[in-house]
A and B are shown apart, each in its own frame.
Chain A
């Protein structure tokens, strides 16, 4: 009944090729915690989170033991806090961030996401206050992650928000300049943000989601690379087939863990996110998969094509392995979190322009990129606008998580540690987009949004 080869292959994937569950993320709705007294709202938020997720860590640890597979992160995502802030008659919104931090520490989770605002078409009550509080919130907390959705294919791009976010990203880095500007590594600016994303820093719990839900993100770039290495020479049809088969196996583990966690926690199963998420560890890199396909180094001509093949094959293999697929689902290319990308960026083979092209065919966007500390806010806004435009036109999620390395210049390094990794400061084109960004207004929704 059992095939020895299959058993040993699974163990090898886990032991040697870094197969793991990247995250089990519990999404918790805070809509029932809204109160016009912020202190009362915070107390309700703390109680709701710590009650709903009380068993999250012990259950995950039990599942790790049962199946012998590591679950690297246990996380929580909550309703965008701007919605709670809209009811409060105070400007001291950071109290919510401190409450989320306190809840994260009590539970022992790795991150808590949802210090967020959705302003794709404009600002509602609470949105301005929340966005303006992001730099302070991320500098006084360690576990809180923040995201702002500034556009969508349906709504267009809110360029007033884009302009604002350039400044906010800079301020966030400045306030944490003494800690390698880490605040900016916990802040993502989205176009077409998914409401069920289990990955940080962009996770939040959408308003269309149930009261509480379990979403799981798998990993496994090392497994895909090892499979390609073993297979040796084959044409690209063969490569795509092999990636599909491997993605199927990886995703099945995610589905198993998600179902088990859902049963044991008594919380509905939401989605499995099919993303190939790298880590800075050697052997766990998306760039190394592209190099295994035959590129001298990630960033070389051909990188976009190789990534497109990889991303599509991962989805095709994964989608059959899970009953509900969602979140970001694709290959991640966070520069500082991927050993192969770090090397390619240091060598100058991988540039921001190439990364931008890559984001047109993979899951997210310009992710974990260190930029010079003197990059003006309007240039950061313009980077966000470019990336959002790719998402807008292609009806896909795109995001920007750049870290202005305050006091540093091209070639210097920022070291975040842990899964966030480290990497060089990359060159940015600084020809001024000031007038374009200052215009504000909205870029209209594209013609392809009119599908009805």
Chain B
């Protein structure tokens, strides 16, 4: 089971570190990272393995969203199925 985690906002020091630490707390393994910085705007997409997730998915999504708010960024965690459904026949 995989989740897609996206981080969008103004670039600053330590984004990757804070987000990965957040994932580690929930025992979420980061499998792939793609990131780009376009004129100060930071955009990162992580594919995470949530099969051994500690706690429930909703709590993980809420905690990551709150972490994003603290950093002044927008963080979304969504189950991979929504992207598979929408973009593949």
Chain A interface residues toward B at CB < 8 A = 1-4, 6-8, 10-11, 61-62, 65-69, 249, 252-253, 255-256, 320
Contact A69 B85, beta carbon cutoff 8 Å: no
CB-contact partner of A255 in B58, B61, B85, B89, under 8 A: B85
The verdict on A65 contacting B85 (CB below 8 Å), with A2-B47, A4-B45, A7-B4 known, is no
In the complex, A6→B83 CA distance in Å?
7
Chain B residues 35 to 89 lying within 8 A of chain A, measured CB to CB, are 43, 45, 47, 57-58, 61-62, 76-83, 85-87, 89
CB-contact partner of A253 in B6, B47, B86, under 8 A: B86
Contact B62 A4, beta carbon cutoff 8 Å: no
A-side contacts of B83, CB under 8 Å: 2, 6-7, 10
Chain B residues 16 to 31 lying within 8 A of chain A, measured CB to CB, are none
A-side contacts of B81, CB under 8 Å: 67, 256
B-side contacts of A61, CB under 8 Å: 58
Contact B58 A253, beta carbon cutoff 8 Å: no
CB-contact partner of A66 in B6, B45, B57, B89, under 8 A: B57
CB-contact partner of A65 in B4, B45, B62, B89, under 8 A: B62
The verdict on A7 contacting B61 (CB below 8 Å), with A2-B4, A256-B85 known, is no
B-side contacts of A7, CB under 8 Å: 4, 6, 45, 83
Contact A68 B85, beta carbon cutoff 8 Å: no
B-side contacts of A6, CB under 8 Å: 83, 86-87
| CB-based nearest B residue for A68 | B78
Contact B4 A253, beta carbon cutoff 8 Å: no
| CB-based nearest A residue for B80 | A2
Min CB gap A17→B, angstroms: 13
Task: List, sorted by A's number, 19 A–B pairs whose CB atoms are closer than 8 Å.
Answer: A1-B47, A2-B4, A2-B47, A2-B83, A3-B87, A10-B82, A10-B86, A11-B6, A66-B57, A66-B78, A66-B79, A68-B61, A68-B77, A68-B79, A68-B82, A253-B85, A253-B86, A255-B85, A256-B81
Contact A67 B82, beta carbon cutoff 8 Å: yes
In the complex, A343→B64 CA distance in Å?
40
Min CB gap A1→B, angstroms: 8
Chain B residue total in the interface (Cβ 8 A): 22
B-side contacts of A1, CB under 8 Å: 47
| CB-based nearest A residue for B79 | A66
B-side contacts of A252, CB under 8 Å: 85-86
In the complex, A11→B82 CA distance in Å?
10
The verdict on A249 contacting B86 (CB below 8 Å), with A4-B45, A67-B79 known, is yes
Contact A256 B4, beta carbon cutoff 8 Å: no
The verdict on A249 contacting B87 (CB below 8 Å), with A11-B6, A11-B76, A68-B77 known, is yes
B-side contacts of A11, CB under 8 Å: 6, 76, 78
In the complex, A219→B39 CA distance in Å?
35
B-side contacts of A2, CB under 8 Å: 4, 45, 47, 80, 83
| CB-based nearest B residue for A254 | B85
CB-contact partner of A67 in B6, B43, B78, under 8 A: B78
Min CB gap A58→B, angstroms: 11
In the complex, A1→B83 CA distance in Å?
11
Q: Chain B CB within 10 Å — which of A3, A11, A255 has the most?
A: A11
Min CB gap A335→B, angstroms: 31
| CB-based nearest B residue for A260 | B81
| CB-based nearest A residue for B82 | A67
Q: Chain B CB within 10 Å — which of A3, A6, A67, A255 has the most?
A: A67
Q: Chain A CB within 10 Å — which of B34, B43, B58 has the most?
A: B58
A-side contacts of B6, CB under 8 Å: 7-8, 11
A4-B45, A68-B82 known, 12 other contacts, Cβ within 8 Å: A2-B47, A8-B6, A10-B78, A10-B87, A11-B6, A11-B76, A65-B58, A65-B62, A66-B58, A68-B61, A68-B77, A253-B82
| CB-based nearest B residue for A256 | B85
| CB-based nearest B residue for A252 | B85
B-side contacts of A62, CB under 8 Å: 57-58
Q: Chain B CB within 10 Å — which of A1, A2, A249 has the most?
A: A2
A-side contacts of B4, CB under 8 Å: 2, 7
In the complex, A253→B82 CA distance in Å?
7
B-side contacts of A249, CB under 8 Å: 86-87
| CB-based nearest B residue for A6 | B87
In the complex, A3→B45 CA distance in Å?
10
Min CB gap B58→A, angstroms: 4
B-side contacts of A66, CB under 8 Å: 57-58, 61, 78-79
The verdict on A65 contacting B57 (CB below 8 Å), with A253-B82, A255-B85 known, is yes
Min CB gap A334→B, angstroms: 27
| CB-based nearest B residue for A5 | B87
A-side contacts of B87, CB under 8 Å: 3, 6, 10, 249
In the complex, A91→B57 CA distance in Å?
51
